[in-house]
Each structure stands twice: as C-alpha cells, then as structure tokens.
C-alpha cells in the first residue's frame, strides 16, 4: 500500500486567477491594436497574466527545458525504430549539444535539465546530476509484467514532485517538458487508451522515428496486451503508472501536478507528456489549466489526450523527435504573447481603441 495520497492534489491545486484574467482582458481592450487582431496571442497573454497573477504580464525570462529519461522493456518487442535500451545514447547527444532539442535550446538561450529515471545503462556513463534520481535500470515489459513495483512508482512520482519544487524555488518561470525514451510512446498509448476507453489501434502511432507496418502491428499488439492489464487498475492512478507506465512517466506525472501546485506554467511536448498530463487530470481536474500544448506531433494518442483535456496545440508541425523539441518551437510564441501583452501602449483616452482602418 502506497503512503502517497494523490487526492491531496485536488485541494492543493487552484485555477489561475480569474479576476486577474478579467483585468488583463480589460487592459487589452484599451490597447491601440484591436482586440482579437493578434489572434491566439491575445488569449496566451491573458492566460499568462492569470497564471502569474500580474497585470501587465511579466516577461518569460527564466524558462527551462526539463527532460525525464528512461528505457522501456516493451521496446524489446521491436515496437520502436531504435534498439531497446538505447535511450542513454539519446541522453548523451542532448548533453553534448548534438540533439535537435539541445540545438534549439542553445539557440533560444534556454538551459536543459535531464533527469534519468530508468535508463538501461551503467550510471557511471552519465554525469551524477543526471543519474542521481534513477529508480531502476529500465522499466518492465508492460505487455506481460508491471513496469514498476508500486514502491518504485511512488519513488519516481516523488522525484517528479521534488524536481518541480527545485525549479520553482530556483526562479524558473516556465517549463518546456519532454521525454528522452525508447518505448515511451507505447506506454503513453496504453495510458491514453485506458483513460479514454478506446482500442489499441485508435491510439497507436509510429513513434519518434516512423516505424514500418510490421513494427506498427507489433506495437498495436503490445498496446492491446498492456491495455488488458491496465483496465483493472484504472481507479488508482499510481498503480496504473506502476502497471503500464514507467519510472519516467510516473516522474513526469508528479512533476506536472506539482508545477500546478506551485503555479509554474508548463508547455507540453508530444504524446508522452500528453499521456502523463492526462493521468494528472484524472488526479486533479484543475491541473490542466496550468499547461499549454506546445505542438501537434501527429501521434493519435496525443490528439486523443489533448482533446480530453481541452488543450489546443499552439503549433502543428508534426515534430515527433521528442526531447521537448516541438514544445521548444512554441516557446518564442509564448514569449511574444507576454511581450505584446505587456508592452503595447494604451490608446489615448479621447479616441477609441480597437478600430481597424
């Protein structure tokens, strides 16, 4: 029996400040550019004001990329274009600045933090600050066994909570959340199918490196078999993460929920972060109010999860590489919304605002 009471998050998480949002909307009405003429940027600016409880909105000055990493035993079935147990290589590429996310983050001036939860490599192969939170070496093969013990799931969840607290305490004002995994999209598809009550074929996509038809059929079968194991534990979100999730997914779920507690906005990346967000919504229904969907990756499970949470992606570029790369592309859009909301001057009092020529 877990000592972690997830029901506490329902009481701890508040919605962004509705009164402040109305103040931001009223301020927008007075600015020289017509309301609505900036499209989605208007809504983003008002959302940020509510999240910050500040009018005018403060600029996003200390964003951070946080990546949770892990290998998934289900990758042994050939459901990924990458070899099973190779997520450590992806992490090294991030740390060396050679991955898409690392290149984008460097260009945008955003620091990257990688948290190893269940990589299948020797811990001495990576820096201590990366591996110090590891719960186990690789998660179990979810089609036939639990990904984690309940104790491991709780430990991983608590790591996510602790990392969210560290980021909030250090002044991070927005998080770009992603994963570095092999087999993670399979586990994510199972979580989404279980929580949305759909069949395996509806949620099974082709992953970060598009797999062929034969691998897709193997992935469908793995999702189907894991889904049978997931349904009996749907009422217990921690047990669900232990049964068909993984240490990285459990940590991401804890991280998302604690970010909502700490009122830290988060941009979600792809299907893995969306699946964890969906679990988080089941835990605390107000939590998604603190999250943005950075992009549409084209993965069917992501679309299903975002629809269930009523989150509309900011971009639609079909980026499936993971590592937060798609969400990083949305970061300048969010920063632009904050800058416009804060810096556009108000119309003079003697002339109406919001009139286009």
**Alpha carbons 323 and 228: distance in angstroms, whole number:** 29
**Alpha carbons 249 and 272: distance in angstroms, whole number:** 7
Q: Count Cβ neighbours within 10 Å for each residue of 179-202 and write b for 16 or more, e otherwise.
A: bbbbbbbbbbbbbbbbbeebebeb
Check pLDDT > 90 for residue 44. yes
Check pLDDT > 80 for residue 6. yes
Torsions phi, psi for 40 (to 5 deg): -65, -20
What integer pLDDT is reported at residue 357 of this predicted model? 43
Check pLDDT > 60 for residue 1. no
Residue 323 Rama label (left phi>0; alpha psi -120 to 50; beta) = left
The answer for residues whose C-beta is within 8 angstroms of residue 54's C-beta and 6 or more apart is: 20
Span of 13-22, 42-51, 163-172, 338-347 with lowest mean pLDDT: 338-347
Check pLDDT > 70 for residue 135. yes
**Alpha carbons 321 and 302: distance in angstroms, whole number:** 14
What integer pLDDT is reported at residue 80 of this predicted model? 87
Check pLDDT > 60 for residue 9. yes
What integer pLDDT is reported at residue 309 of this predicted model? 98
Taking only the tens place, the pLDDT of each residue in 294-338 is 999 999 999 999 999 999 999 998 898 989 999 999 999 999 999
3-state secondary structure 200-228: HHHHCCCCCCCCCHHHHHHHHHHHHHHHH
What integer pLDDT is reported at residue 36 of this predicted model? 87
What integer pLDDT is reported at residue 351 of this predicted model? 59
End-to-end, the C-alpha distance of the chain in Å comes to 66
**Ranges of each domain in the chain:** 64-333
Note whether 67 and 115 are within 8 A (CB): yes
What integer pLDDT is reported at residue 208 of this predicted model? 61
pLDDT band at 122 (very low <50, low <70, confident <90, very high): very high
Any bridge partners for residue 118, and if so which? 70
**Alpha carbons 125 and 67: distance in angstroms, whole number:** 18
What integer pLDDT is reported at residue 81 of this predicted model? 85
pLDDT band at 177 (very low <50, low <70, confident <90, very high): very high
CATH number of the 64-333 domain? 3.40.50.10210
Handedness of CA 143, 7, 271, 104 (dihedral sign): negative
The better pLDDT of the pair 80, 253 is held by 253
pLDDT band at 210 (very low <50, low <70, confident <90, very high): confident
Average pLDDT, the chain: 94
pLDDT band at 225 (very low <50, low <70, confident <90, very high): very high
The better pLDDT of the pair 228, 209 is held by 228
29 classed as catalytic: no
Span of 8-22, 149-163, 207-221, 245-259 with lowest mean pLDDT: 207-221
Task: Please pick, among 323, 351, 356, 357, the residue that the annotation labels catalytic.
Answer: 323
What integer pLDDT is reported at residue 103 of this predicted model? 97
Note whether 47 and 24 are within 8 A (CB): no
What six digits make up the tokens of 346? Answer: 């108000």
What integer pLDDT is reported at residue 229 of this predicted model? 97
3-state secondary structure 236-254: CHHHHHHHHCCHHHHHHHH
pTM exceeds 0.85? yes
């Amino acid at each position: 029996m877990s000592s972690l009471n997830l029901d506490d998050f329902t009481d701890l998480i508040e919605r962004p400040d509705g009164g402040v949002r109305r103040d931001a909307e009223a301020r927008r009405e007075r600015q020289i550019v017509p309301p609505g003429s900036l499209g989605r940027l208007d809504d983003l600016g008002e959302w940020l004001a509510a999240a910050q409880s500040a009018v005018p909105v403060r600029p996003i000055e200390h964003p951070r990329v946080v990546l949770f990493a892990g290998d998934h035993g289900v990758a042994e079935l050939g459901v990924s274009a990458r070899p099973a147990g190779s997520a450590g290589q992806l992490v090294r590429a991030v740390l060396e600045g050679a991955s898409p996310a690392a290149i984008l983050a460097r260009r945008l001036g955003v620091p990257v933090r990688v948290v190893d939860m269940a990589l299948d490599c020797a811990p001495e192969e990576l820096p201590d600050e990366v591996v110090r939170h590891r719960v186990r070496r690789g998660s179990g093969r979810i089609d036939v066994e639990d990904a984690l013990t309940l104790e491991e799931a709780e430990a991983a969840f608590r790591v996510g909570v602790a990392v969210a607290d560290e980021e909030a305490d250090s002044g991070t004002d927005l998080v770009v959340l992603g994963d570095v995994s092999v087999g993670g999209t399979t586990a994510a598809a199972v979580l989404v199918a279980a929580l949305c009550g759909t069949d395996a074929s509806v949620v099974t996509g082709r992953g970060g490196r598009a797999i062929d038809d034969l691998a897709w059929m193997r992935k469908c079968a793995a999702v189907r078999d894991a889904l049978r194991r997931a349904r009996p534990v749907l009422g217990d979100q921690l047990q669900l993460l232990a049964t068909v999730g993984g240490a990285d997914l459990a940590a991401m779920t804890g991280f998302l929920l604690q970010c909502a507690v700490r009122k830290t906005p988060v941009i979600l990346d792809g299907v893995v972060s969306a699946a964890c967000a969906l679990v988080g919504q089941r835990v605390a229904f107000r939590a998604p109010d603190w999250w943005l969907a950075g992009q549409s990756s084209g993965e069917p499970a992501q679309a299903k999860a975002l629809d269930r949470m009523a989150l509309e992606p900011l971009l639609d570029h079909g980026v499936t590489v993971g590592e937060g790369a798609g969400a990083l592309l949305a970061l300048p859009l969010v920063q632009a919304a904050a800058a416009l909301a804060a810096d556009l001057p108000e119309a003079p009092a003697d002339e109406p605002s919001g009139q286009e020529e």
